Amino acid sequence: MIRIGGPVACLGETMVAMVPETGETLAEARRLRVEVAGAESNAAMYLADHGVEARWVSAVGDDPFGRRIVAEVAACGVDVGGVRTDTGRPTGVMVKSPGGQGTRVHYYRRGSAASALGPRSLAAEAVRTAGLLHLTGVTAALSDSCRDLVDAALRGPLPVSFDVNHRPALWPDGAAPGVLRDFADRADITFVGLDEAQELWGAHLADAADVRALLPGPRVLVVKDGARAATAFDGATAHTVPARAVEVVEPVGAGDAFAAGFLTGLLRGEPPVRALRLGHVTAGAALRVPGDHGPLPDPARIAHLLDATEARWASAASPGGVTDS
């Protein structure tokens, strides 16, 4: 398994999210609650929860939303010294619209402060002095300069963790399959869901092994199969750990949490199976709350889960199994 050292710099946009109260549609809602939403800052917050030195690097507008975001991320123990305030561009906004067919997301991020990020962001001290740079496909979709940033990072000296994190609404030009495959195959560590791999690169990708054949480049490839399991390829060796049964309140943010948990395992020198378990446990914290960031189980509980026998762990993977709580 690849050996990485901290601190971890997570680079990407975070927005304010406007969310109707539970049970209301956007058209009916009289009140919206304000949340902080960003894949990279989510990962940074969960890394910090695990005691990892985490940095969030980005840009926000010189506005109340930007100040709120920075304050909330910092309150979780994340170093925000690498966040730049842009006086000429606003902080991005997203609005969630719940409905019977799931939640739709409306983005108001064109021309946002973070969309102006580019390769020069890699020269920031928070990035240069990190041990690992964590990026996602969301950043690659924001603008040409952001896409250039990801490309430059993958050519640079730092090891890169890349979460494909495909958001179709951000790719109206249809470039996602080619761009994201290229970036995913060039990273040192790559995370991708089996469902998004199938959506991007074809339904013929029947399982994790098919995805590995498509993406041979990463030293570590993690393929997440929804609520069923996750497989980590350490070179050609595959390790699969089933997911534990969790009562799901909201799935958004679970992938970011999984990545943070798995990376924490790598940083601690854990073997692949324990790193995958820590990914599942961390994802469970996100699944149980309506927002993107939920509390982890206490350290003793996490240690108990990581030390569980395969039979005990598997007993919670099927319907009717115990949960992580």
* Integer Cα distance of 35 and 94 in angstroms: 10
Shortest CA distance to 132 belongs to which of 37, 3, 272, 313? 3
**Crossing angle for the helix pair 272-287 and 254-267, nearest 10 degrees?**
150
Please give the radius of gyration of the chain, using alpha carbons only, rounded to the nearest integer: 19
Q: Which position among 79, 163, 188, 256 bears the catalytic label?
A: 256
* DSSP per-residue letters across 44-83: HHHHHHTT--EEEEEEEESSHHHHHHHHHHHHTT-B-TTE
Tell me the one-letter amino acid at 292: D
Task: Retrieve residue 163's tokens.
Answer: 């979460």
Q: Quick check: helix, strand or coil at residue 160?
A: strand
Phi, psi angles (nearest 5°) of residue 173: -85, -5
Helices (H), the chain: 39-49, 64-75, 125-128, 137-142, 144-155, 176-186, 194-201, 208-214, 254-267, 272-287, 299-307, 310-315
Which residues neighbour 256 within 8 Å (Cβ) at sequence distance 6 or greater?
A: 39, 40, 42, 43, 46, 163, 165, 286, 292
Q: Is 256 a catalytic residue?
A: yes
Q: Return the structure tokens found at 294.
A: 């939920």
What is the set of active-site residues? 256
